[in-house]
Structure formats: C-alpha cells, structure tokens
Structure 1
Amino acid sequence: MGSRLLIKGGDVITPKKILRDHSIVIENDKIVGIIPGKITIDDCQSISADGLYVSPGFIDLHLHGGNGSDFMDATVEDIQKIIRYHTQGGTTGLLATTASESHQNIMDAIQALDQARPMAGAKLLGIHIEGPYFNHGKRGCHLASAIRNPQPEDYLPMLEATDLIRLMTLAPEIDGADQLISELSRRDIVASCGHTNASYRQIRKACELGLQHSTHLYCAMSGVIKNGPQREGGVIESTLLIDQLTTEVIADGQHLPPELLKLAVKCKGPDRLAVVTDAQRGAGMPDGIYAFGSKNGTKSVV
C-alpha cells in the first residue's frame, strides 16, 4: 500500500462526534491528520470515501467462527477462512474463541492457532478459552458431555502450549475455580466469569483472587437469586455494580433489547464495556442448522 495513504471526503467517526466530509492522512500505518474537505496530496495513494462512513477497525474479543468454519475445526485453512470473512466486515483484530470440548480437541485448536500466525487480514490478537469449566445449568449451546470442573492436569497444558492465550471464561462457583483464577492472574491472563450461576458473594470472592471480566453480559448467567425470604444479586447485578469488572455485550439486535444495552452503558460506561459478535460458523451463511464448535458439536439454527 505504500507509506502514505489518503482517504478522501468521508464521514469520519471519532469518539466525540462524526466529522462530515473530512479526509484522513495516514503515514506508516498511523493517522497523522484529519482535514476538512476532499483534499489532494501529491505522491500519495488515494481512496475515495465520498458518501461513506470511515470508522476505526472493529476489535472482537469473542468470536468462534464464520463463513462455514469454526476455530475448533483446528486447521490453518479454516482459521484463514474465518479471518478473511470477518476482515471484510471491518474487523481488524480478534480473539479466536474456543468451545467446551475434550482436552485434545481444545489442544488441537490452540496448536492450529499458534501455527497460523502471522497471516493476512485481521490480526490474531490472541485466544479466548471459553469453557469447558462451566456450571452445567448455564452451559447454553456448549456440549453437555464436555462440561467439567477445572483440574491442573487439564488446564495447565493448555496454558503452557502457547503465549497467545489472553482470556479464559469460567464459572467461579465450581470446585477448582479459585485455584484456576489465581493461576490465570499469575500468568497475566484475564479471568472472566461466564456460563455461571454464581452469587454476588461468590463473584466478590473471585474478584479478590483476580477475576477481571464478565463474558456476554445478561447471557448464560444468574440474575437476582432468591433464598427463602431473602434475595442476593447474581452475576448480572455483580457485573453492573463492581467497578473492577469489565464486560461485553452481544449487540446484534437479537440477543438483547435496547433497554438492557442502555443499562449496561449507564452502569459500566464506554471504557469498561465492549461490543462483541460471539459469531459462529453460521455467520455469513444461508439460513440453516450449523454445528457449534467442532463439526460434531451441538447444533444451532441460523
């Protein structure tokens, strides 16, 4: 592409407002100027954005697949297929997310992702290990037979297989979770609560051990828990209330209504809230039934 690029005459989305009919000057992959109007610069590659929005690239922290492939398919070809598809939609960086499956299947996916870097398109920023350490009652579409409590002999080989692991989602109330959260914190890997039926007290305890994030807020997690005449906050309330926790929402217009998205923004603010796709292999495909995780995983309707 060369060292200089001019994007001419688009509506530029910034953190504060949309700048109508502006041009962006980029040198050595860095923005060095945003200038009103459709300007011309000599010896500079130019792209017209007339009538278009110009947006920062989307960074997706929770992404399983797309275009008929899943990261659990564990081949470099499938990984490239997924990344190419999401790059076309404006994604510039992502965490490849695994599913709850056997130890070997997860290891195969980790090793394939480790081998796949670097590649063209959106940057593989790391791996998000989602499961298999979940509460059975909150497993969602994850494979029931794969849900288990964390054991060091199961998770340590995963953590030691690559330096790409950035985040792990688990249920903090299950046996063995305390030790795992401490281990993740020691390795500077973000521990996230998800697919969990934990109470406010259990989340507070997990935060003391190093819990930092909450996976797909409102989905597959406890709300207010009733115990006789008393009530206690669940994971939803804990996430909204505890400043230490960052979180993410699936803002596709299907998972969550506008009022819950507005509540999340009001409680967490834009600096502690991410938008994710949680896209699966059915993304970009015709309506139909697709496997979640590996091709032998649970089926979901798209």
Structure 2
Amino acid sequence: MSSSVVLLNATVFTGDEVLEGVAVWIEEGTIRAISHPDQLPAHLTTHDLAGAWLVPGLVDFQLYGGSTAYLTRDLSVEALTNIYLTHLREGTTTIVPTLFSTTRDRILRAMEVVEEYWEQELPGVAGLHVEGPFINPIKRGAHSEAMVRPPSEEELRELIQKGQRVVKVITIAPECFDDHLLELLRSSGWAIAAGHTHATYAELNHFFDKGFSLATHLYNAMRPLESREPGAVGTIFDRTDVHTSIIVDGYHCDYAAVRIAKKLLGERLFLISDATFTRYEGSRLEFEGFNITYDGQRFLNDEGKLAGSAITLLDAVRNCIRHVGIEPAEAIRMATAYPARQLKMDDHIGYIRPGYRANLLALTADIQVQDVWVGGMRQALR
C-alpha cells in the first residue's frame, strides 16, 4: 500500500465520538485528516471498508506470551515478535510485554531484548511491564514462590539504572516497601502499580497518598473487600484518584463483579488481556517453578490457581459488550484511550485524531477483525 491512503465507508469511532460519512486520510504513518471525502484531494488512493467500524488500535498493558513464545522464559527478539504478531492478528497494535517474577539476571536481559527490538525498528512494543518479584508471598497467585523476594535498595538501583528507558510499569506490593524505597521507585519515572498485595486499607492509602495512582488486575491477587477491613479492593473503590486494570475473560472475575467495578470506577477501569499465551499451540509449560497446564480455556498451575489468561484484548472487549453490558464505544475506550493514558502515550496513540499514529482497527458488525493498520501500513493477518 502507498504511504498515503484514504479509508472510506466506515463508521469511525475516534475515541471521543462516533462519526458517519467521513473519511480518514493516512499519510506517512500518521492520520492527516478526518473529513468528508469530497474535501480531500481527488488523486489519493482509497480503500473501501464496506461499512466496518473503524476504531483505534488496541493497547495491551499486560501480557506475557504469544502463540508459542513466553517472554520470561524465551528472552529474545524472536519471542517478542511472536508475541506482537499473535496479538496483532486480533487488533492489538501496541503491547507492553510483561515479566512474571523471575531472577535479577532475567529482568536485566529482558530490558536488553526490548532495546534490541527497538534497534531493529520493529513495531508495537511500548516498553516492559515488570510484575514482581517484589510482591507479597501471601498474594503471589501463580508466581513461583522461589522467585518472590523482598526489595533491596541495591537491586532496585540497578534495575532503575539499566531499565530507565525500557520499563513502563512495575507492579509491587506496597506493604513490602518502606518510604525510602518507594521514593527510590518514584525517581524512576515508571508507572508504579499496587498488585499481588495483602495491604490493608490504611497501608494502601499511605501508598496512594504519596501520589501513586495505579493498581494491577482488580480483584485478583489482592486483599478483598470485607466489612471490617476494606482491603485493596475497598481502597480502590473508595478512592477517586486510582486507576486499575481488570481481566475480563470470564474466569478471573465474575461478569457481575466487572459491572459493579465499572459503575464505581468509570473511566478509571481499563482492560488488559493478562495473556500467558493466546491461540496457544501447546498444553504445558514448566519454568522456574511456574508449572501450568492449559485445558483449552484456562491456564492453571499445579495448585489449581489461575495462571494468566488465554484471551486477547479484543476478547475482553467482546466480553464487556456481550456479558457485562458495557456500551461498545466505552468498551473500546477501555482497551485504547484509557491504557494509553496510563502509559502517558495518549498524545499519539489510543485515538483517531489528526497527527496521531495511524494504528487502526476495522471491525465487522459481530466484532471480528476485518483489517489492521500499523503506522499507516495495512497488515497481512493470516
């Protein structure tokens, strides 16, 4: 496809509004204009979307693997490529590949792999999400017990020094950190998320009162809301400044629980796939004490605990629409504008606006992928 193309005959959801009868002009990888087709130069190449719904490309804040690759184990550019292309086929154009709790050396190597990926000018990887190892063992979930450890100033300083540019997000249990270590983490400039935490209402408010405002996969691997102790869930519900991801695969949260959270949190709730793998081609993974089996729907460890999901972000969007009752445009925002905002990337992705990167997804009426564009280039998906 040429570097300039006009997309015609679509209902365009910009992230702000739904537009009918407009065309989207892409030039040199960015969105040049959104206007009536008659107002655009007549000589431009056009592409007819045949009535599709055109939306921003999806942004996945947390995922671990593709169809065959698992980042924490494989640690290679080839693995990142498999992860990206697997999710791209389902409309995810930006990913934040995520590490499970692992050794310091593997975390440092993952940082190098992302740098190598960028050096090859490969698309779609925004940076790294380091989930653990500084989490509460009581709420480690499927994380390997042998890999979970307390934070040390020496290790944190090395990770910050070597991962300054690469890491976008780190998930920690705040109760495992003193104020000095929290201030050290703040200096990184990364998004600091509370997760895998057994913190009390008081402990989490102490953390959030310091200006941190993010939590990882609401309900899962965190202290629940109880009458005498609101816990992490209650604290997130009670605050007005905390944003949180959620896994909507039908297993991690009951759909009614998602609906309740959406009513309380509004646009502070956003979607992640949390995909260990998706469209998985195997049945068993054993690595560093993270031993899981795939039953065709779920990943479970040998203790019977959920170990990530098997969905894509578009699956989560579909579930929000079909089972939670969220209006389609809002479900799309939960997978585009809201995660882009948390990544501080909403000035160039997450919306269809002039000057934004032309990462676009064309959906059929039944929410299936019709076409995907990355940087203005139509992708070969099959």
Q: TM-score range by the shorter chain?
A: 0.7 to 0.9
Q: Tell me what 2:166 maps to.
A: 164
Cα distance 1:50–1:135, how it changes in 2: closer, same or farther (>3 A)? same
| 8 A Cα contact 1:84 1:121, kept in partner | no
Q: Tell me what 2:243 maps to.
A: 246
Higher strand share: 1
Q: State yes or no: 1:7 paired with 2:3.
A: no
User: Which residues of 2 match residues 20-59 of structure 1 at below 5 A?
Assistant: 20=20, 22-35=22-35, 42-59=42-59
Q: Which amino acid aligns with 1:15?
A: G
Q: Tell me what 2:377 maps to.
A: none
Percent same amino acid at aligned positions?
Answer: 26
* In 2, Cα distance between equivalents of 1:209 and 1:298: 37
Cα distance 1:19–1:288, how it changes in 2: closer, same or farther (>3 A)? farther
Q: Tell me what 2:184 maps to.
A: 183
Name structure 1 gaps, 5 residues minimum: none
Q: Which amino acid aligns with 2:54?
A: V
Q: Tell me what 2:290 maps to.
A: 297
Q: State yes or no: 1:274 paired with 2:274.
A: no
Deviation at 1:121, TM superposition (A): 6.0
Deviation at 1:141, TM superposition (A): 1.3
| 8 A Cα contact 1:24 1:34, kept in partner | yes
Task: Give the structure-2-normalised TM-score.
Answer: 0.70
Task: Give the structure-1-normalised TM-score.
Answer: 0.87
Aligned length: 293
Deviation at 1:38, TM superposition (A): 9.9
Q: Tell me what 1:82 maps to.
A: 83
Cα distance 1:183–1:297, how it changes in 2: closer, same or farther (>3 A)? same
Partner-residue secondary structure (3-state), 1:184: helix
| Aligned match for 1:173, one of 172, 175, 185 | 175
Partner-residue secondary structure (3-state), 1:206: helix
Q: State yes or no: 1:102 paired with 2:95.
A: no
Q: Tell me what 1:257 maps to.
A: 254
* In 2, Cα distance between equivalents of 1:171 and 1:220: 10
* In 2, Cα distance between equivalents of 1:38 and 1:137: 62
Q: Tell me what 1:223 maps to.
A: 224
Cα distance 1:76–1:287, how it changes in 2: closer, same or farther (>3 A)? closer
Q: Which amino acid aligns with 2:231?
A: G
Render the CA deviation track for 1:228-260: whole Å, top value 9, x for unaligned. xxx121111111221222111112333223322
| 8 A Cα contact 1:80 1:119, kept in partner | no
Q: Which amino acid aligns with 1:165?
A: V
Deviation at 1:132, TM superposition (A): 0.5
* In 2, Cα distance between equivalents of 1:223 and 1:206: 17
For CA contacts below 8 A with separation 6 or more, give which structure has more relative contact order. Answer: 2
**4+ runs of 1 displaced by more than 6 Å?**
37-40
Cα distance 1:13–1:258, how it changes in 2: closer, same or farther (>3 A)? farther
| 8 A Cα contact 1:199 1:234, kept in partner | yes
| 8 A Cα contact 2:13 2:54, kept in partner | yes
| 8 A Cα contact 1:23 1:38, kept in partner | no
**Cα RMSD, aligned residues only:** 2.5
Q: Which amino acid aligns with 1:58?
A: L
Q: Which amino acid aligns with 1:86?
A: H
Q: Which amino acid aligns with 2:195?
A: G
Cα distance 1:241–1:288, how it changes in 2: closer, same or farther (>3 A)? same
Deviation at 1:200, TM superposition (A): 0.8
Name structure 2 gaps, 5 residues minimum: 299-382
Render the CA deviation track for 1:181-216: whole Å, top value 9, x for unaligned. 211212221111101111110001112334220001
* In 2, Cα distance between equivalents of 1:67 and 1:296: 21
* In 2, Cα distance between equivalents of 1:114 and 1:254: 34
Q: Tell me what 1:235 maps to.
A: 232
| 8 A Cα contact 1:196 1:235, kept in partner | yes
* In 2, Cα distance between equivalents of 1:166 and 1:3: 30
